[in-house]
Amino acid sequence: LDTKTPPYSTSDRTSFASVSARDRWPVIITGAIDDVHRATSSASDPETRDEGKRIVEGLAKLKYELQHNRQMTPLPDDGQPDIASYNKELEQLGSPNWFDVPWLYSECYLYRRMNTLFSLSRKWKNYDVFARQKMTTFKSSRPAVTELAGRYKDLVTQLESGDGAAAGSTDEEREAADRILFTEMCEICLWGNATDLSLLTSLTYEDIQKLQGSKARKEAEKNIVSNDFPTAFEVLKSAQKQSNSKERRVDIILDNAGFELFVDLILAGFLLSANLADTIVLHPKSIPWFVSDVLPKDFGGLLNALADPKRFYETQSEDEKHKDVTPEPLSDQEAEELSFLFERWSEYHAEGKLVIRPNLFWTEGGSYWRLPKTAPDLYEDLKESELVIFKGDLNYRKLTGDAMWDPTTPFADAIGPLGPKSGIRILALRTCKADVVVGLSPGEDERLRAMEGGGGDSGAQASNVPLAEYKQLGKSGLRVSVPILGAMSFGDKRWQDWVIEEDEAMPILKAAYDRGLNTWDTANVYSNGVSEEIIGKPIQKYDIPRHKLLILTKCCGTVREGNSSEVMALQDIDKTVGYVNQRGLSRQGIFTAVEASLARLQTSYIDLLQIHRYDKTVPVEETMKALHDLVESGKVRYIGASSMWATQFATMQFTAEKHGWTKFISMQNYYNLLYREEEREMNRFCNETGVGLIPEWYSANLVNVGHSQWGPLSAGQLARPTAQSGKTTRSVGKSVSDTDSAIIDRVQELAEKKGWKMSHVALAWLNKRISSPIIGFSSVARIDEALAIRDKELTLEEEKYLEELYKDKPVMGHS
């Protein structure tokens, strides 16, 4: 029934299949565990609580088997007809292990097995473990939703009234305009955003027609590597012209709920209003599937949200309650436009023009090549449709058998029995994430893979931006980006008013990843945990493969629970009820901190866990054994340390060495042109023992250590002339000594002489002496400025010129 072309497998370590199995799936299961645990805790019914606990145990067992590459076991029979076919295929595959199995089958098996835990219960049978996440995502898309709603209302009003844009237009002008509008709507569904929607209002049909072939249209289409929108439009237009009593139907095989379902309904509504179809059939999944796929009740949930938009958008979410944030009220116009959508789509649904039609076939374990034999009734039904639109990456994988096709293979060939001879007219809308791709012209695949990001899971990225280089972290096998992105500057302004909050941080993190800056450093105490939350979100938001990022965090300080923005001082812990063991470097403190960090980061492991200072109150042996056990458990891959006396660091290293435990591979200390006290002992010890130096961005605003500030650029002092000192938010009130001013002047002098930025001079001096500096960024421009240091070097004379004015300073920041 399937293609003979080999499928992608989780055993291929170079593929997104392997990344999914090892990195993505454990995180997804952890999220499900957290959701059920939360729901169980709030349940009052004893049977519900008992069953909830058993479901959590079942999910935990599944996660353990996956992470430890155990043999996949037959699905328990929950009474549904697909269980037999799942288990038969598992047997035919030879009862494989998780990391050596066809990707498509194993991922479907994962979600089907999760569902059996619920379907075999009494109280949880219809529970959607992903529902909370889907509605949260839709609510967070409010700006795009309200903009689209307004555009859509204006557009369909014009289309249906015959006034405004359509008035006085010829048939040819109207058809040309419809072609453009159809393409725009399909692109909204493809990209899932509201880009270029301004053309949907105020333009006449003649104006819109002129957009064909324009610069704006070419810009919108440049990232579409295979584009059959014109052909799809001709199919619908031809059916419209030949219209008789026959139903003109368009089917949409849905993908994600939330905002993506919203834009799918925008497309459906447009097709009906423009008379390009008279019936739209939506095909959701029957069970919770691939986290965000649409279920029938998601359609009802979305309509309910639009029915009372003020209540939906102005009611605090759990996250907003936690952060004590009050949502902005909707304007009357926004509420009216959203209510218009509810009324229009509800009317279409009631009239039978908008139909919801689930089918168990969509959640079976195989490819859509099996459709004619496995679901012949569905196969025959789809032949009655003028156009069948398959949404998303998974549907594309199933259409093509998730096989390792030559990228130049025609799409019609790759979908096998669903090709032209089937009688089903298929349009697949998919942005490239998984490995499989077909329908490319010769040389196109090579061109895309040569671009930064290489296409596929991270998407093709622009190639005209500066790229990071990589260096070995000491003598370890770990390679880190130069520089490392410092995330102290991301968080909650209630913590420090100079931090950048989530909305601004996301594009900076995306730009960093696109430029190869893949090593991100944070700490549990930064913004009381909010920094870690922000660092973890781009993985899901931008579909970044977890193994392509290095996440560094720290433990020692206590993170206050609840929505307080305070970080608790160690000396205050013993006075605070409930926090006595949630601090420091005891075994209890470390394990508690790591579990909390993993939850905030939404990851199953930390690449480099660093102790955030030395803890005199705990035996060194207890600390080092706890850290070693975390590495052994797989929750931590490497360990490092932060500022302390060299004797303290040496004691910890030698203790680990004596017992055969994991040793530190990094030291995150204070070191730059204006603070060189670490050269006396710490830097020398690290260099001689193979420990990598990663000086941190650090602000003395947070602890009582005087007016000085440290970091690779001394909190920006080395990146701007002395005349500008004290003019930034973080430097207000901070004095600069005469000696430091003289050194900064020399940095400026060399920068002007060499045509560099001042930051390049300071970093060129530093990078020669360390593995990589940790730098906080407030904009994409600052990232590009830091990356431009690549290949810049100072002469020995220039280095001496910068160093010779330095005067000894008191050692600070050590515990």
Q: Which residue numbers are catalytic?
A: 526
Task: Determine the Cα–Cα distance for residues 460 and 454; give it in Å rounded to an integer.
Answer: 6
Task: Determine the Cα–Cα distance for residues 550 and 521; give it in Å rounded to an integer.
Answer: 8
Task: Determine the Cα–Cα distance for residues 659 and 620; give it in Å rounded to an integer.
Answer: 12
Task: Determine the Cα–Cα distance for residues 522 and 537; give it in Å rounded to an integer.
Answer: 13
* DSSP letter (8 states) at residue 279: E
Task: Determine the Cα–Cα distance for residues 356 and 477; give it in Å rounded to an integer.
Answer: 53
- Cα separations (Å) of 120 from 54, 79, 196, 291, 293? 11, 9, 48, 20, 21
Burial per residue of 275-284, b for 16 or more beta-carbon CB atoms within 10 angstroms, e otherwise = ebbbbbbbbb
Task: Determine the Cα–Cα distance for residues 674 and 768; give it in Å rounded to an integer.
Answer: 16
Task: Determine the Cα–Cα distance for residues 461 and 446; give it in Å rounded to an integer.
Answer: 14
Centre a 10 Å sphere on the Cβ of residue 162 and count the other Cβ atoms it contains: 10
CB 652 within 8 A of CB 741: no
Strand partners, 558: 568
Candidates 122, 132, 128, 131; CA nearest to 48 is 122
Residue 331's Cβ-count burial label (10 Å; 0-12, 13-18, 19+) is exposed
SS3 of 619-667? CHHHHHHHHHHHHHHCCEEEEEEECCCHHHHHHHHHHHHHHCCCCCCEE
Task: Determine the Cα–Cα distance for residues 579 and 561; give it in Å rounded to an integer.
Answer: 9
Candidates 548, 567, 549; CA nearest to 557 is 567
Task: Determine the Cα–Cα distance for residues 415 and 430; give it in Å rounded to an integer.
Answer: 14
Centre a 10 Å sphere on the Cβ of residue 170 and count the other Cβ atoms it contains: 11
Write out the DSSP string of 675-698: B-GGGTTHHHHHHHHTPEE-PPPB
Contacts (Cβ under 8 Å, ≥6 apart) of 407:
437, 438, 439, 440, 444, 445
DSSP H or E stretch at residue 568: strand 567-568
- Cα separations (Å) of 464 from 320, 451, 515, 516? 39, 10, 10, 13
* DSSP letter (8 states) at residue 226: S
Helix axis angle, 25-42 to 103-119, nearest 10°: 10
Lookup: tokens for 602? 């939404």
Task: Determine the Cα–Cα distance for residues 486 and 509; give it in Å rounded to an integer.
Answer: 11
Query: In Å, how far from its chain's centre is CA 573?
Result: 35
Edge-to-edge strands, sheet with 387-391? 354-356, 279-283, 249-253, 387-391, 426-429
Please tell me the number of Cα atoms within 13 Å of 435 on its side-chain side. Answer: 23
Task: Determine the Cα–Cα distance for residues 96 and 73; give it in Å rounded to an integer.
Answer: 9
